[in-house]
Chain A
């Protein structure tokens, strides 16, 4: 198993490649390719870069109609998620700026997994800032992902063993650098969750629902589990837990 990390999108990516030694040149090749993939997404979609395509749209120098196909497609997908989450996830910032942070990180992780597979890797894990996507298995057992306890520093609340169909996990919390979580002032909701973890069969689904449930509370949680096949664990503001049987079944006992 070899481990590689690099900085991108203002956070850190951790890659584990099973059945691979640190000195394997294929490992460095694939890590470089993955890093390039993240940098491409960042270069196009980061609002922190003045001349990224999305920043040019935000400043009005570029219209959406004249934007690249990737930009328009990414926007279209984010709008589909807005509809699917009944607005609890939205790419529209209150100030009117188009912010695709909420989907782009996960889309980049999914693209990185495709890169790894294209390089012939089957057993690996990718963690980008707390969003984890696994493939295959480690040298023994299954990939296991711990879930932080939002109340106690550097402590795990739980851990899930990734079985088939449950390869992606995302956690959204009030302590995160989540500028893309916009509470909708016009909708009454109970902001009752301090942290939400969603396990699903793909990372965009997990990430969007975790975000939506943080923004929309109980109502969004009920919609989420009724809409997609998810395992959910949410921590309430008073430290209580809410979850479903799908999650219980994944706990790494």
Chain B
């Protein structure tokens, strides 16, 4: 089963980016800063320590902008220099199907922090054809008429009672001891 997520119906919000990031990238412990938070100066290593200690891996974008500037204003208690555990670069997150198309989240890492999150809309031919195969449309009886009726092993229909079974096609097949 594909995991279609109902809460992507909102489209374009930070929530999408946050969940896509979590699903794809796993445990990076800093909160996702909005681009405003980044601009307001969270480049200090002391600040990133404070953020990871308080925010964990749950994105709280509304709190990040306000906490980051104040954290950088306070003297951080003997901060150790952060050694980035993740190399700088752009990382691909999960590919998620939304009502508006297939979206992939990318996180840009610099100095051990997420400095940007990008939502990339994919136009993957496979996913498109999968969506088309799912779509429902009127059909004519000839399209579904089976040529291999002689090889039918079982019958699917609404639930029959034990009484109903006796008059059913399934019973006829069972009695004949279907041999293929």
Q: Is B85 an interface residue (CB 8 A)?
A: no
Residues in B with CB closer than 8 Å to A138 are: 153, 180
7 more CB-based (< 8 A) A-B contacts, given A130-B155, A159-B152, A222-B136:
A10-B161, A131-B159, A139-B179, A154-B169, A158-B144, A177-B164, A242-B137
Interface-central residue, A139, A229, A234, by most chain B CB under 10 Å: A229
Given A11-B159, A226-B134, A252-B146: A125 and B154 interface contact (C-beta under 8 Å): yes
Sample 19 A-B pairs with CB under 8 A, ordered by A number: A10-B161, A12-B170, A16-B153, A105-B159, A125-B153, A144-B153, A145-B153, A147-B157, A148-B156, A148-B157, A156-B155, A159-B146, A228-B4, A229-B1, A233-B144, A234-B136, A248-B139, A251-B143, A252-B149
A241 to B145, CA, bound (A): 12
Given A157-B144, A225-B136: A141 and B158 interface contact (C-beta under 8 Å): no
Q: Is the CB of B139 within 8 A of A241?
A: yes
Find the A residue at minimum CB distance from B145. Answer: A158
Scoring A residues 151 to 182 as 1 if CB is less than 8 Å from chain B, else 0, what string do you get?
Answer: 00010111111000000011111111110000
Q: Tell me how many residues of A have a C-beta within 8 Å of chain B.
A: 76
Interface residues of A (CB under 8 A from B): 1-3, 5, 7, 10-12, 14, 16, 18, 22, 105, 125, 127, 129-132, 134, 138-141, 143-148, 150, 154, 156-161, 169-178, 195, 197, 201, 205, 221-222, 225-230, 232-234, 240-249, 251-253
Q: Tell me how many residues of B have a C-beta within 8 Å of chain A.
A: 48
Q: Is the CB of B156 within 8 A of A169?
A: yes
Q: Is the CB of A146 within 8 A of B156?
A: yes
Interface residues of B (CB under 8 A from A): 1-2, 4, 99, 130, 132-141, 143-149, 151-162, 164-165, 167-174, 177-180
Interface residue from A159, A195, A222, A234 paired with B158 (Cβ < 8 Å): A195
Q: Is the CB of A145 within 8 A of B161?
A: no
User: Which 10 residue pairs across A and B have the least CB separation, nearest first?
Assistant: A176-B158, A173-B158, A159-B146, A148-B157, A158-B144, A252-B148, A129-B159, A245-B133, A146-B152, A225-B134
Q: How far is the CB of A232 from chain B (nearest CB, A)?
A: 6
Q: Is the CB of B4 within 8 A of A221?
A: no
Find the A residue at minimum CB distance from B130. Answer: A229
Q: How far is the CB of A133 from chain B (nearest CB, A)?
A: 9
Interface residue from A12, A175, A240, A252 paired with B165 (Cβ < 8 Å): A12
Q: Is the CB of B146 within 8 A of A251?
A: yes
Interface residue from B99, B153, B162, B167 paired with A7 (Cβ < 8 Å): B162
Q: How far is the CB of B127 from chain A (nearest CB, A)?
A: 12
A127 to B154, CA, bound (A): 7
A235 to B179, CA, bound (A): 30
Given A144-B151, A176-B158, A177-B160: A158 and B136 interface contact (C-beta under 8 Å): no
Q: Is the CB of A245 within 8 A of B138?
A: no
Q: How far is the CB of A180 from chain B (nearest CB, A)?
A: 10
Residues in A with CB closer than 8 Å to B179 are: 1, 139
Q: Is the CB of B1 within 8 A of A243?
A: no
Given A156-B146, A201-B1, A225-B135: A148 and B155 interface contact (C-beta under 8 Å): yes
A205 to B1, CA, bound (A): 9
A189 to B30, CA, bound (A): 46
A134 to B147, CA, bound (A): 20
Interface-central residue, B137, B151, B153, by most chain A CB under 10 Å: B153
Interface-central residue, B99, B132, B134, by most chain A CB under 10 Å: B134
Residues in B with CB closer than 8 Å to A125 are: 153-154
Q: Is the CB of B167 within 8 A of A130?
A: no
A22 to B152, CA, bound (A): 20
Q: Is the CB of B174 within 8 A of A11?
A: no
Interface residue from A134, A140, A159, A171 paired with B157 (Cβ < 8 Å): A171
